[in-house]
A and B are shown apart, each in its own frame.
Chain A
Amino acid sequence: MELKSLTIDAARSAVQERTTTALALAEAHYARIQKEDGQIGAFLTLSKERALEQADRMDRMAAEGKTLPALGGVPVGIKDVMSTRGLRTTAGSKILENYIPPYDSTAVARMEAAGAMVLGKMNCDEFAMGSSNENSAYHPVRNPRDLNRVPGGSSGGSAAAVAADMAVVALGSDTGGSIRQPASFCGVVGLMPTYGRVSRYGLIAFASSLDHIGPLAKTVRDAAIVLRTIAGRDPMDSTSADVPVPDYVGELDKPVRGIKLGVAKEYFGEGLDDEVRHAVEAAIDKLKGLGCEIVPVSLPHTPYAIPTYYLIATAEASANLARFDGVRYGHRARGVKTLAEMYRRSRDESFGAEVKRRIMLGTYALSAGYYDAYYLKAQKVRTLLTRDFDEAFRKVDAIVTPTSPTAAFRLGEKSNDPLAMYLADIYTVTADLAGIPGISVPCGETKEKLPIGLQILGKHFDEATILRVARGYEQSS
């Protein structure tokens, strides 16, 4: 079976029309995983029984002539930060090595209700903290294009699995770029929806004002189908927005002629690799050729985005990760005499270096005497960054930028320098802070055959426009 070109519609209609079975699709993907994943490391846990039960349901529906749901018989991967009932969920951390959630996250429940077969849980940086997947407590993920390079992070397993045809689509999460940057590094499509568009119920929280769930896919159309499936108000998440979900797929093929695209010089400055610059500029030219109007815009506070992000994200993380104390779930240290010692040693023994670093930075930024200088200051600059986008979106419909300043870097290249690693997110954190949607779509390769990503940012709740622009570009390239 040819998995390379297998999209959601191809898989679903093959199962519907009985030219194959969901069971055969699942088995073909497990065979591929068996063959490839030893060297890539994208999966942390396989859920074959669960996938095959769903395959059976879909095959019976097809046999009875019933119309399959949107993801009927589609093999998917789920980043291991989303809770799955009865299926181990580690968040890439040793502290949750044996954690079996008693409930499903809403995003996963909606995927399965739409007929998706969950093949397994995808490797990621511990608690989604990282830009290279080297912070996984289990093993790093390697980039399928070049095994000496990182797949990006933190949704590196999700991106690598889609890139290596071990899943048709995968869910990831994005707090500072964790869907778009690995999509860019692995040469797939990655969509971060608007803040509040997709319920986070059951997502293991990293930074609650910044966390988003979204798809990684081979095509823009597949990303649109998954978004349509998981989007919409969920009473279990009070931050999920009560905003109507449009028919993203139906909107997809409207021509892009006349769409105003902003280009901000702040995203093309120092630190941007020349090959990436040229590929993105060529992509912008192509969009211009399709009839988009290119408009210069200014986002003057962009240079302050990384410091703002790392204060807010770590402050929120330090509060969210306080729940890991060895009482209700997770690792508990042995031989402790007091409760306080139990908390400290349980956390000490099972959090990795980056997680400890972020908890420490966040706790410091929130501590008495420093709150105003760091956390509050960062929240104020977050307002300025968001106003930059408000201003720009008065003039344009979407903004185009590089997704990442470089193509995939080598394993170990930045792992001893936290600040250098943080700068890998320089073009992605702004959208998380402002809560606007963003998509990364492949736009060529470097001389070393490493994928490059074009990022398209949109207005709040206007995923339809960025999907359309991404699709227009994808179809022309």
Chain B
Amino acid sequence: MLEISGLTKRYATGDLALTDVSLTVPDGQVMALIGPSGAGKSTLIRCVNRLVEPTAGRVVLNGDDITALGPAALRRARRRMGMIFQEYALVERLSVMENVLSGRLGYVGFWTSWFRRFPQKDVTEAFRLLERVGLDHMVDKRADALSGGQRQRVGIVRALMQNPELLLVDEPTASLDPKTSRQIMRLIVELCAERGLAAIINIHDVALAQSFAQRIVGLQGGRIVYDGPADGLTPSVLTTIYGEEDWSKTIAAVEDDAETELAG
């Protein structure tokens, strides 16, 4: 369970990215974080694993206060939080296997990782997960030789290799075509269900968020303005989050998509 309380982030430039955000994500819940660009979505998930240092507030993961940890303890805590990125953020010049095994970096020593002598159980797990996402034939390919959808699947496997208790997912589909986006979202949701993982997914696409997440949190100007079930996103709620616009098409589109999903 992830508990965020009173989280505030003010950047050195003086911009207030988050104001007093409190949020609890129970185990196994997939939560979508929506909101306009600049609302603080990326900052929020980066404050959870402290890639961005929060200015105030607390982040507690399964009873451990992440915000209070020193450097070494923080590194150990980061192992418990898998992160998936918008532009995949694979190390482009390393192979698929190396990228996947980099998820174990927090568990092995420097020289073990430098000479790529990972424990056999890590390698076995890597093969198993690559097979699970259908990439077992790509093991020795360099990451920059893969398509967008394949890269994102490698990114997902890397995060899972950490054996995480929580997934932080930053715009996983922003660089993908609509079909691949749905496949990636479905994969993330399935994997979370298999492992009972909690996930926070930043996402721009309201329709995708509605069809894949159980709970939606709307962020506007660094504050939470909506927190509720996916079907509670009415036009008036969307107007609060994003501003005035004709939302009937967006919401209608979701229902259409849901039907085609079922038919397919």
A binds B: no
- Could you tell me which B residues sit within 8 Å of A by CB distance? none
